[in-house]
Amino acid sequence: MSESTNQEINTLDFVQLAEGLQENFQRVEDLMTDFSEGFKEMDMDPFNLKQLYGEWLMAAIQDPQKLMGAHAGYLQKSMELYRHSALSFLGIDSAPVAEEGRGDRRFRHEDWVQEPAFGYIKQSYLLISEWMRELVTDLDGLDDHTAEKVRFFTERYLDAMSPTNFALTNPAVLEKIIETKGGNLVHGLKNMLEDLERGKGMLQIQMTDSDAFELGKNVAVTPGKVVYQNRMFQLIQYTPTTKKVFKRPLLVVPPWINKFYIMDLQPKNSLLRWLVEQGHTVFVISWINPDESYRDITFDDYLKDGVVNATDVVEEITGESEINAIGYCIGGTLLTTTLAYMKAAGDDRIKNATYFTTMLDFEEPGELGVFIDEEQICGLEQRMEKDGYLEGSAMAGAFNLMRANDLIWSFYVNNYLLGNDPRPFDLLYWNSDSTRMPAQMHSWYLRNMYQKNLLKKPGALTVAGVPIDISTIDIPVCFVSTVEDHIAPWKSTYAGAQLFSGPARFILGGSGHIAGVINPPEAEKYDYRVIDGLPSNPDDWAENAEKTPGSWWPEWQRWIAPMGGEQVAARKPGTGRYKVLEDAPGSFVKARIGDKLEAIQVSPAPVKPVAAASKEKKTASTRQRTKAAPAARPEASKATKQSTDDLTLISGIGPALAKMLQSKGIANFTTLAAMDEKQLRAVLDEEGTRYRRFDPSSWPAQAKALQDAGKLDI
């Protein structure tokens, strides 16, 4: 970004302007030459709008009455606008023919109201917009998905054609041109060229001054330590700020499509910092930003090597087998899938779950649904097949397109037409810090969740070899959604909350997908609604839920506190087997677009379980099974009498599990090395369904290696 300031722009003379423009035009020529060389390889119509509007036109021709009605209405209002404008030029006030929406911030300059010429331009644009919306709404002959796509892209076209996006029809820009003698246009062109160079010929509008932020310095600064890492994630344990904490630790599962520090931007609005202050022992997953080497990573890997593995580590570090969990957006979708997977394995360590703006029923995905159909998924798969991943900027572009006026055109006007440098804004810095999606995982997710909507159907989706059934999850859950969410519409998240068999609570906050969640109590912004019970109709729920001013955070804390357990001494990161690897926010979150991943030093595998196995209560039928004859164990009783080895040296065997194995006559490496996986599985099955989550396949080989090492020592 150029270091020119607005003060320098104001002092430019016409000679400097000419020189600056000449220099910039040469850069434009060079860029266009490079751009044209790759033109043939670029998809200039990624959404296939030519075919889309061809289908609309054929349907429109079949309904001439609608077309005539729309044209007649437009002509009538145009005459009214002509009369209104004539009176305005004569200084006579009259009611405007067309007005922008209440939340439309494009026409805030006073000249849009006070100057007749600009009033005419604005109202003409608004009338044409109304006319075009009528043409593409409620048109027979189009299926619902095609009709929704036509409406969506028509709105995006209207956004682009706004008179505020053109220098000669924007009074604020004209005012700036006079003030700076055109210096704003020179500086704006420089900004545009730098964005084109950054995007390699594609315009990547810079929303904020990225150089103003550094992770761990002025964003993501809540004190904590990375205590574990594998190929999928780093686990951060945050430093306590209270002497006592809740007994149950709290595991946060963020989306892997975004980076976790949206919950830790600044101390004043950090949700993670606030959770620590409430007395929670907070653990957060920081996902890897994958490169092409992760092309074959699956959703199974995110589940098993991600959430399940993190649960194992949290249990071992804290010694607690009862854990609370939070999932944000698709992190909540992953958390739910994991809970159903764990339930099938008899694993009930996660005792309650909170979901921030999470969809589980994808029947009505909102505007995001226009990007999910067979044609577009196939296009994404072709791109991912080439690179091994979907670049994060592609997904960010889709999200920005849904709020084009706020996230695209406002910055276009500010940076290029007004010639301002983008201002530092922590939220927009995070928004531009996107992550890549592994090819196989992303394709599977889009097809099975969004396209086929299998997650809500019991047993329709199989993950890691286990049929997923959300209805088996009977723990308390709390859904937090926001009324203006355009990514996870609140009524869709409400439908997902009804899929559980346990008690469910629903909180509806104000604002949108991010601002409505990251809403600290001190800000005193927005409001929230909550009532007991979850009627089947979301409108009935909303009608009976009274609004409470302020943040929903304290309301959620009142819900979770009774389930936190008794107060225990605060837990300092790095005091157990898992030593501190680095300070929070860690290195995984710092990998940006284009960075190559370095070799990852994997932490020791977690021991499963610590406290959980020791607290296992056998049912009557389980006790009966333990009395049955065990599977054949070579020389078990004899070996036990001869020696006892420390079985906890084997990865995957903790103290409680070692004690159980010893009670079964498996007390040393010799005995264990002589067994196979099938025999060990039979032993675990005798102890009940909870032991199904252990993987004994590597135990004999590890025991043999330890046995051999012992012989060498002698």
The residues carrying an active-site annotation are: 329
CB < 8 Å & 24+ apart, contacts of 140-144: 140/59, 140/62, 140/63, 141/58, 141/59, 141/62, 141/63, 142/55, 142/56, 142/59
Question: Given the DSSP bridges, would you call strands 250-253 and 323-328 parallel, antiparallel or unpaired?
Answer: parallel
Token look-up 């906050």 returns 509
Q: Using the 8-state DSSP alphabet, how is residue 687 labeled?
A: T
Cα 232 to Cα 247, 303, 447, 596, 659, distances in angstroms = 27, 10, 22, 15, 31
Cα 234 to Cα 282, 304, 507, distances in angstroms = 14, 14, 30
Alpha carbon 90 to its chain centroid, in Å, reads 54
Tokens of 502: 């346990």
Residue 477's H or E segment, with its range, is strand 477-482
Per the DSSP assignment, residues forming a β-bridge with 325 are: 251, 353
> CA-CA distance, 164 to 452, in Å (whole number)?
41
Quick check: 509 and 483 in contact, CB under 8 A? yes
Q: What is the phi-psi region of residue 182: left when phi exceeds 0, alpha when psi lies from -120 to 50, beta otherwise?
A: left
Helix residue ranges, H only, 96-216: 111-114, 116-135, 144-160, 171-180, 183-198
Q: CB atoms < 10 A from the CB of 357, how many?
A: 26
| SS3 label, residue 664 | coil
The set of residues, in sequence order, having a beta carbon less than 8 Å from that of 278 and lying 6+ positions away, is 557, 561
> CA-CA distance, 596 to 674, in Å (whole number)?
44
Quick check: 89 and 118 in contact, CB under 8 A? no
Give CA torsion, residues 644, 650, 654, 657, to 10 deg.
-60
666: exposed, middle or buried (Cβ count in 10 Å: 0-12, 13-18, 19+): buried
Quick check: 365 and 331 in contact, CB under 8 A? no
